[in-house]
């Protein structure tokens, strides 16, 4: 197998492998949950498993007091506390499997936005298999989830694949690594994103800082969408925003002017090449006032994988505004 980017090595032990349930409002029905006795027998030290109704979730806890909650449904991280809550879940979010979880860190794969298949692809609609929950390294509890093709996904997107997602919690940051492998005998391309919702005190009193000035800016709010050069160094939300900044990656900071200590740094380390900003300004039902989506994206130029190749992305979410 040929790997396109160097791997981030994370030690794992104490395998936690529930049955390969598949859940999708449009693709398949939900299978039964694990028994409590099986969970207790295989639960690693310092990691607790909470059985949700009807969705289950895994909670990672770090000795420093930080924590993260991960749902196998959509492989969605819904909470990261360090110690304040860094992420945001919309008030209209559903946790019954009837639709993707609206908030936290949802996945977009193999399509970003609208296109030939359903909006943002199918990865956020499916239950990922929990391959491992690890407490090998006391300072880095983690969970590994995996998604592969099924008859249902092949009917929509006729390509064989394996997605491996590792969420790791250390003292100062949340680390997310997504690996996409072409397990087919032919090449194919795809788009992907982490559609991250970050909590803010007031959407009118925050800004996103990064290498935006001079970048290609696709404004999806224009009819039709327009592409221009961005003239601003920092982006504010004073109206509905849906903007893709091609080639803007690296370090991006969401600065909270009301509570600067609750600002957050998004450090894209590999794979993610674009940044998307989104807020449904004025939509009270979505809770627009208290979140900003700052998304790590690979979409402007889709990734192309030959048979056996692997694409790797890594991002760290760091509480506070890094210099």
d(CA 269, CA 204): 29
pLDDT at 122: 97
Contact yes or no for 213/231 (Cβ under 8 A): yes
b/e string for 159-173 if b means 16 or more Cβ within 10 A? Answer: bbbebbbbbbbbeeb
Q: Encode pLDDT of 38-70 as tens digits.
A: 333 333 333 333 444 578 999 999 988 999 999
- 9-13, 76-80, 111-115, 182-186: segment of lowest average pLDDT: 9-13
Backbone angles phi, psi at 38, to 5 degrees: -65, -40
pLDDT at 155: 96
d(CA 200, CA 255): 9
pLDDT at 118: 87
Which sign does the torsion angle of CA 266, 172, 82, 18 carry? positive
pLDDT at 137: 60
Mean pLDDT along residues 249-271: 97
d(CA 284, CA 72): 28
Q: Which one has a higher pLDDT value, 5 or 254?
A: 254
d(CA 292, CA 281): 10
pLDDT at 140: 87
Which sign does the torsion angle of CA 96, 97, 102, 106 carry? positive
Whether the predicted pLDDT of 29 surpasses 80: no
pLDDT at 114: 84
- Classify residue 179 by burial, with Cβ atoms within 10 Å: 0-12, 13-18, 19+: buried
Question: Model pTM?
Answer: 0.84
pLDDT at 204: 98
Which sign does the torsion angle of CA 292, 23, 32, 165 carry? negative
Contact yes or no for 198/175 (Cβ under 8 A): no
pLDDT at 135: 54
Q: Encode pLDDT of 145-172 as tens digits.
A: 999 999 999 999 999 999 999 999 998 9
Mean pLDDT along residues 302-318: 98
Whether the predicted pLDDT of 278 surpasses 90: yes
């Amino acid at each position: 197998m040929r790997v396109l980017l160097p791997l981030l090595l994370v030690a794992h032990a104490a395998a936690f492998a529930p049955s390969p349930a598949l859940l999708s409002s449009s693709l398949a029905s939900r299978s039964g949950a694990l028994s409590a006795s099986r969970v207790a027998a295989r639960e690693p030290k310092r990691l607790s498993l909470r059985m949700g109704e009807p969705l289950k979730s895994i909670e990672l806890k770090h000795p420093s007091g930080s924590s993260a909650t991960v749902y196998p449904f959509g492989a969605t991280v819904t909470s990261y506390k360090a110690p304040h809550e860094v992420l945001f879940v919309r008030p209209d979010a559903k946790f019954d499997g009837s639709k993707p979880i609206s908030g936290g860190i949802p996945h977009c794969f193999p399509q970003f936005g609208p296109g030939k298949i359903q909006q943002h692809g199918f990865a956020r609609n499916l239950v990922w298999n929990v391959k491992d929950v690890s407490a090998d390294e006391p300072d880095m509890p983690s969970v590994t989830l995996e998604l592969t093709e099924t008859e249902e996904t092949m009917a929509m997107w006729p390509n064989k694949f394996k997605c491996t997602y590792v969420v790791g919690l250390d003292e100062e940051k949340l680390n997310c690594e997504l690996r996409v492998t072409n397990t087919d005998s032919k090449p194919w391309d795809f788009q992907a994103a982490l559609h991250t919702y970050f909590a803010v005190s007031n959407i009118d009193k925050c800004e996103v800082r990064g290498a935006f000035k001079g970048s290609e800016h696709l404004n999806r709010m224009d009819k039709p969408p327009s592409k221009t050069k961005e003239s601003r160094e920092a982006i504010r939300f004073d109206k509905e925003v849906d903007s893709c900044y091609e080639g803007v990656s690296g370090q991006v900071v969401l600065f909270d002017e009301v509570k600067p200590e609750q600002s957050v740094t998004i450090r894209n380390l590999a794979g993610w090449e674009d940044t998307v900003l989104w807020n449904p300004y004025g939509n009270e039902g979505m809770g627009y006032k208290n979140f900003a989506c700052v998304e790590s994206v690979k979409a402007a130029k889709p990734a192309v994988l030959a048979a056996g190749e692997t694409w790797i992305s890594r991002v760290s979410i760091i509480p506070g505004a890094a210099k």
